[in-house]
Amino acid sequence: MRVHHQLVGYNLGTGRAEIAYNIADLKFDEVAKIAGVDDTDPEGALTYPLERDQARAIAEMVNLRLDFDHYDFCFEPMTAIQVRN
């Protein structure tokens, strides 16, 4: 399976994931550095809760506007599933 990444917004009131923005593979190294991904997790397979300044820096890099009044953000992996017939 191939790992892709998203910036995921969790509702401050409910704690539920409600929004997700795909992060282009070409931006992974830069975004992972900002998110604090280290050498022990080279594929970014873990979830990284972000401080506002980290989320803001990532958003600026990938041209997003984030709603900090309603959401906390994490840098998270997702896997692409291949369907076989």
Contacts by 22-31, CB closer than 8 A, 24 or more apart: 23/58, 23/62, 23/75, 24/62, 27/61, 27/62, 30/61, 31/5, 31/58, 31/61, 31/62, 31/75
* pLDDT over threshold 90, residue 84: no
Question: What integer is the mean pLDDT of 13-37?
Answer: 95
Q: Facing residues of 6 across strands? A: 22, 76
Question: What integer is the mean pLDDT of 19-47?
Answer: 94
Whole-model pTM: value is: 0.87
Question: What integer is the mean pLDDT of 37-49?
Answer: 93
Asked which of 14-18, 40-44, 80-84 is least confident by mean pLDDT, the reply is: 80-84
Which of 71 and 85 is assigned the larger pLDDT? 71
